[in-house]
């Protein structure tokens, strides 16, 4: 075959009068194209009128002077390099790799009816101040006598450290020291199997043990220094008044009571959490009347005088049935809010202290509405604006709540008909609308809508213990609010707010 002069088209470039000698090997022509374009021969695809040139022979390629030769291929530097770490598909990942890829926390192995402990540990882990306090706790277990509070604090600290490494982990050490400290958690049923236990009892005992060992964060200028970190961040205070119903002339008696948990009592009329909390804060009791010289009925009224940063609410769902000798469960649907406003439950003095920060929250909400109406920033939802976080505690009272506003961050649920049977699960907030269902060693993302379905009303998981954290005031960069002023424009205390979702 003779030589031809052809036109070579490569992408947007055209090379005229390229000589082709069909008496030579096709690889020589490809080498010539490499010199023109920089495309390696092994990356070249050469075509003439739909026919492809092979490396070993010209075949019946329709070559002639002036014919268009199409070259396809990329230069070496234009081809993406192979990634240093090859991609791994989710279905090929093991449990540890999957948890890391999805930013999921570690699950906890069920060691035989120990879901009550696993759910409690997952919920408490959402409190960063508690995590910091445990990390700073430097004591270790020695060879001396068994000290329950020390052993449980060290075991929980070490468990959280191991959980931070990802994948499922066995809480065997914490379980052992818990059973040594509280033998009721080691009770066995038929066949020698460890019995299911009440998760709220486990929660209460763990917190009580931590209260004895974790020191409070010192606060300069505080009139009263808290005794422990638990009291500082989880502890609230009631102002209590006792008024005798049978002797109106008797002066009311007053006292203070500390609490680590609020109780939501569930009666026939209670449909919302706030209603259940109200019923506990005003109740009738019988005690000795110095005026009458005998037992009499008193109205006990409690108001919160100190709100903790982290508010624990227990739904009183279990009651003792004598006939069956079992703690039966109240399955009633009781709604709870994602955002809770506790101001109605507070004393007048505390409401006045909360007013300045509540006003700042209101100012920020008003500014957001105004910006939306004026369409000042149409791309606000597409870009992440830098914000400044303001302290959530009252001055000289670190660990308190300075607004009365709370955000739900963990839910402990029970599925079953009695506290000594069924199954417990922890549900923890990962971000604004993403939650994680911590079902022992299985951790699964769920939505905020799924959390609101945990209010009860059937055999599905029912909320048993709720953990609310402080709602943080985050001010966008460039936004200016009026400085806090006590009593400045405090809104009317409404019970039917959207945040509390009352009837």
Residue 264 bears catalytic tag = no
How many residues are there in the chain? 503
Q: Which of 123, 244, 264, 423 is catalytic?
A: 423
Cα(407)–Cα(247) distance, integer angstroms: 43
3-state secondary structure 375-400: CCCCCCCCCCCCEEECCCCECCECCE
Cα(80)–Cα(435) distance, integer angstroms: 37
Q: Which of 115, 123, 202, 244 is catalytic?
A: 115
Residue 284 bears catalytic tag = no
CB atoms within 10 A of CB 236: 25
Assess contact for 71 and 9: CB atoms under 8 A. Answer: yes
Cα(463)–Cα(451) distance, integer angstroms: 9
Cα(368)–Cα(348) distance, integer angstroms: 30
Cα(497)–Cα(503) distance, integer angstroms: 10
CA dihedral (26, 27, 30, 32) positive or negative: negative
Assess contact for 229 and 274: CB atoms under 8 A. Answer: no
Assess contact for 327 and 420: CB atoms under 8 A. Answer: yes
Assess contact for 280 and 222: CB atoms under 8 A. Answer: no
Query: Which long-range CB contacts under 8 A does 9-17 form with residues at least 24 apart?
Result: 9/68, 9/69, 9/70, 9/71, 10/36, 10/37, 10/39, 10/71, 10/72, 10/73, 13/37
Assess contact for 283 and 300: CB atoms under 8 A. Answer: yes
CA dihedral (474, 431, 128, 93) positive or negative: negative
Cα(319)–Cα(329) distance, integer angstroms: 7
3-class SS of residue 491: coil
| Nearby residues of 77 by Cβ (< 8 Å), 6 or more positions away | none
Which phi and psi angles does 159 have, rounded to 5°? -65, -45
Q: Would you put residue 77 in left (φ > 0), alpha (ψ -120 to 50) or beta?
A: alpha
**Beta strands 474-476 and 387-389: pairing type?**
antiparallel
DSSP character at residue 49: T
Active site positions, annotated: 115, 423
């Amino acid at each position: 075959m003779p030589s031809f002069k052809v036109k070579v088209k490569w992408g947007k470039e055209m090379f005229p009068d390229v000589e082709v000698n069909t008496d030579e090997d096709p690889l020589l022509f490809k080498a010539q194209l490499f010199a023109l374009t920089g495309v390696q021969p092994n990356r070249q695809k050469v075509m003439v009128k739909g026919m492809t040139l092979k490396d070993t022979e010209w075949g019946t390629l329709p070559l002639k002077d002036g014919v268009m030769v199409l070259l396809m291929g990329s230069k070496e530097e234009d081809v993406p390099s192979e990634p240093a770490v090859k991609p791994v598909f989710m279905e090929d990942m093991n449990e540890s790799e999957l948890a890391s890829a999805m930013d999921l926390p570690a699950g906890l192995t069920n060691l035989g009816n120990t879901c009550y402990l696993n759910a409690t540990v997952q919920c408490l882990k959402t409190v960063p101040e508690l995590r910091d306090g445990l990390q700073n706790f430097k004591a270790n277990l020695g060879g001396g006598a068994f000290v329950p509070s020390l052993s449980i604090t060290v075991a929980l600290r070490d468990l959280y450290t191991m959980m931070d490494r990802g994948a499922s982990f066995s809480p065997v050490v914490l379980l052992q020291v818990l059973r040594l400290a509280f033998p009721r958690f080691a009770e066995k049923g038929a066949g020698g199997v460890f019995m299911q236990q009440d998760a709220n009892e486990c929660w209460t005992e763990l917190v009580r043990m931590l209260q004895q060992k974790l020191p409070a964060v010192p606060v300069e200028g505080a009139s009263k220094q808290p005794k422990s970190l638990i009291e500082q961040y989880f502890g609230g205070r009631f102002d209590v008044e006792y008024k005798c119903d049978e002797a109106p002339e008797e002066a009311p008696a007053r006292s203070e009571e500390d609490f680590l948990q609020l109780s939501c009592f569930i009666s026939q009329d209670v449909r919302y959490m706030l209603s259940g909390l109200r019923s506990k804060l005003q109740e009738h009791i019988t005690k000795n009347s110095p005026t009458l010289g005998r037992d009499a009925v008193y109205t006990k009224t409690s108001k919160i005088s100190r709100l903790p940063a982290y508010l624990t609410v227990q739904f009183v769902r279990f009651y003792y049935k004598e006939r069956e000798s079992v703690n039966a469960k109240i399955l009633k649907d009781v709604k709870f809010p994602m955002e809770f406003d506790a101001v109605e439950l507070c004393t007048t003095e505390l409401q006045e202290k909360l007013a300045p920060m509540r006003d700042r929250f209101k100012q920020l909400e008003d500014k957001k509405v105004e910006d939306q109406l004026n369409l000042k920033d149409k791309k606000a939802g597409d870009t992440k604006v830098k914000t400044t976080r303001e302290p959530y505690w009252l001055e000289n009272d670190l660990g308190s709540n300075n607004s009365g506003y709370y955000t739900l961050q963990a839910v402990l649920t029970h599925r079953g008909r009695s506290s000594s049977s069924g199954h417990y699960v922890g549900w923890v907030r990962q971000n604004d609308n993403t939650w994680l269902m911590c079902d022992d060693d299985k951790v699964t993302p769920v939505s905020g809508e799924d959390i609101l379905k945990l209010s009860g009303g059937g055999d599905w998981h029912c909320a048993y213990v709720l953990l609310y954290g402080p709602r943080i005031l985050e001010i966008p960069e460039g936004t200016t609010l009026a400085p806090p002023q006590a009593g400045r424009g405090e809104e009317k205390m409404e019970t039917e707010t959207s945040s509390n979702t009352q009837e």
